[in-house]
Amino acid sequence: MASNGKLTGRQRLGWTVLTVVVLLYALFPVAAILATSFKTQADLGNASFLPSSWTWENYQMILVGDAQGLFLTALRNSIGITLIATFIAVVLATLCAYAIARLDFPGKKIILGSALAVSIFPVISVVTPLFNLWRNIGLYDTWPGLIIPYLSLTLPISIWTLAAFFRQIPWDLEQAAQVDGATQWQAFRRAIVPLAMPGVFTTAIIAFFIAWNDFVYGISLTSTEAARPVPAALAFFTGASQFEEPTGAISAAAIVVTIPVVVLVLLFQRQIVSGLTQGAVKG
Amino acid sequence: MSSITLQNLVKKYDDGFPAVNDISIDIEDGEFIILVGPSGCGKSTLLRMIVGLEDITEGDLLIGGERVNEKAPRERNLAMVFQSYALYPHLTVYENIAFPMRLTKGQFTKEQIDEKVQYAATMLELTEHLDRKPANLSGGQRQRVAMGRAIVRDADAFLFDEPLSNLDAKLRGQMRAEIARLQRELNTTSVYVTHDQTEAMTLGDRVAVLKKGLLQQIASPRELYEQPANLFVAGFIGSPSMNFLPGTVEGNVFSTPLGKIEIPDRAAKAGAGRDIVLAGIRPEFFEDATQLSDVQLSKGTTFTAEISHSEWLGNEQYAYVGYETDERVADALQNLAEEMDADELRTQLVVEVDATSRFRGGDSAELWLDTRRMHLFDPVSGENLTRDEEAGAELTREAREDRRRDAERFAAAKKD
């Protein structure tokens, strides 16, 4: 925003109004789902925003009740698969981005280009062939069967963000460390890694969100509770009878899966803060 | 502390371009050597070859008599101060200075590290900043932290890569004095890269002038100034730079676009029989003739010139005299200007006169020229035709004596 000087009263008013509008637009659906998750089955169709009587019924159902088996295993799958996919993506992307930012080798542009090409490929167009392939080689409905496609989603963006981040690191530091008596590995670990951490954290969180939010792969490449993640599992919730939509339970589950994301951002807020490299060089 | 010997060092990049071409320098133990030259002359590359951050294509590099071509930077035991300071932003000032010692596991106890850090901090007046992060320091303080990191090392030599270029002018002067004092006090061999000739002249025991990867001359600052080896060194050293006035020598008369100037026998002999030569005249070789006594006037030549404009600076005054250059040397001068990073070739004479002189633009002024000190250059080869080898060598010998005396003085002061 205004980088120099203070805002005038009118400007401030304008920005405030704009911020409120954007916040309302972004958060209203979340609030609506939150409110719905506290409604009773009978209350669902009452056309009012807040429940007429607050209830934990829906949460009980997915955490300890009928839907427990469906939801908790799905949650376990989601957490496990997403964490593993994120970890692998970040490790591979770190090595790859380090090489791209630091070394001069033929094919550098091709790597970046193909990473971009992969990421703009529509997921839906690969799902069907992947479905057949996975069934043939036995990866269908397994954790690796989801982790591998998730890597194709998370790796490109991780490589791009990290490469951009690594390019900003003053490499003089690495050379200074080497002159100071460090081996190449020591120089990397003691001078570069501490500076790279915020970038790696940010990338990890982005990768985590992407994998966590995936629906298409999750629903297409799984058939049982063995590997089905939460977004896909929500579609399999059933109401008490076939005429009842389990809207309340789905809302509750949606809120529960949002919590890790919020917690992650709050936890690593500090690491995400950039500006750590300020003052390393020049003035 | 060690000597460093560069033997025919060559650095060729993949495209075959020699960034450093056949450079040999003997750096004595405790000597302060400056590598100076316009950008792209290979001075930084040469420094990075010494420290081990660039591979050596050909030639030998000896530190303390031992060949170190293939050694990794950490095995060479040199300390380097980078242009960007290269401080570790996530570490405090204390940890930044202690960093090199932390890398040698077990070699230093905690107390030893603390003692050394405190010693360096005291020396550099950083004691009260030890707990701060580099981001919160001023430019000069960061610079001192970078030097602190070098001091605690007990390194064989200090290498400086344009360490002052990011500081403002005032601070630069202070830090320059600081570096000079530290170097003398520690008596550590130092190699210092700069493009600033004030730094080169004030800091160096000897200064190596480089151009396009080739060593032009290595000598004490005084020798470079008084007895430059060629046109490039003459033009590069000195500010404002030397005037190059084209002309022809006939007997003891030098015909220039500004008129005929009488020159001493020595110059006359050097310039005799040549089609055209360039006279190298430093601005301070001129003086306002009306202010001089007859005795002084008789030692040089007086001539009249029209002043185009003048600049009064308080302690001195520059007057400018325009002239038509000779086409036969226009190319040579243009080349020289490009090599020195100057924009265009000047066809005006810069004359430094006493601040009390009343020179105004448009005036016709009586100028006195100290012809004893001027040099004649061959415009094609750039060679200095009037260079006095022995006088030059004597100047460099004196500089070496000065350094030894300084070293003894500091050693004696330490004992007390």
Domains defined along chain B, listed by start: 4-226 (3.40.50.300), 239-387 (no CATH)
Instruction: Name the pairing type of β-strands B317-322 and B309-312.
Output: antiparallel
Distance separating alpha carbons of residues B380 and B278, to the nearest angstrom? 10
Q: Which of A180, A195, A197, A277 to mutate to test the interface with B (most CBs of B within 10 A)?
A: A180
Nearest Cβ partner for B142 among A170, A177, A283: A283
Contact of A41 with A197, CB cutoff 8 Å:
no
Residue A136: predicted pLDDT? 93
Q: What is the pLDDT of residues A16-72, one digit of tens each?
A: 999 999 999 999 998 988 988 888 877 777 777 888 888 888 888 888 877 777 888
| Residue of chain B whose alpha carbon sits nearest to that of A170 | B86
Asked if residue B187 lies in contact with residue B410, where contact means CB atoms within 8 angstroms, the answer is yes
Give me B230's structure tokens: 């060629």
The answer on pLDDT for A167 being more than 90 is no
Contacts of B85 in chain A (CB under 8 A): 280-282
Cβ of A182 within 8 Å of Cβ of B103? The answer is yes
Percent above pLDDT 90 for chain A: 23
In total, the C-beta contacts within 8 angstroms joining chain A to chain B are 89
Tokens of A255: 């809120």
Q: What is the reported pLDDT for B362?
A: 86
End-to-end CA, chain A: 24
Low-confidence ranges of chain B (pLDDT < 70): 1, 342-346
pLDDT digits (tens, 9 = 90+) for A243-264: 667 888 888 888 888 888 888 8
Q: Average pLDDT in the A102-120 region? A: 87
Conformation bin of residue B303: beta by default, left when phi > 0, alpha when psi is -120 to 50: beta
Model pLDDT, residue A283: 36
- Paired with B280 in beta bridges are B244, B375
DSSP state of B388: -
Q: What are the structural domains of chain A?
A: 66-272 (1.10.3720.10)
Report the alpha-carbon distance of residue B246 to residue B237 in Å, rounded: 19
**Ordered DSSP codes for B267-319:** HHHHHTT-S-EEEEE-GGGEEEGGGS-HHHHTTSEEEEEE--EEEE-SS-EEE
pLDDT band, very low/low/confident/very high, at A271 (cuts 50, 70, 90):
low
**What tokens appear for A120 in the block?**
């703009």
pLDDT tens for B28-46 read 999 999 999 988 889 999 9
- Cα–Cα distance for residue pair A232/A235, rounded to 1 Å: 6
Q: Which two tokens stand for residue B103?
A: 């890398």
Q: Within an 8 Å CB–CB cutoff, is residue A280 touching chain B? A: yes
CB of A42 less than 8 A from some CB of B: no
Tokens 């951490």 -> residue: A197
Residue A110: partners with Cβ closer than 8 Å, 6 or more residues away: none
A176 within 8 A of A134, measured Cβ to Cβ? no
- B240 prior amide bond cis, ω within 30: yes
When scoring B77, B88, B142, B171 by the number of chain A Cβ atoms within 10 A, the one with the most, hence best to mutate, is B88
Of B164, B136, B134, B165, residue with least CA distance to B149: B134
pLDDT band at residue A147, thresholds of 50, 70 and 90? very high
Cα(B306)–Cα(B258) distance, rounded to whole angstroms? 9
* Chain B neighbors of A181, CB-CB under 8 A: 74, 100, 103-104, 153
**Residues of chain B positioned with their CB less than 8 A from the CB of A191:** 88
State the DSSP code for B62.
E
A:145-174 residues touching chain B, CB 8 A cutoff: 170, 172-173
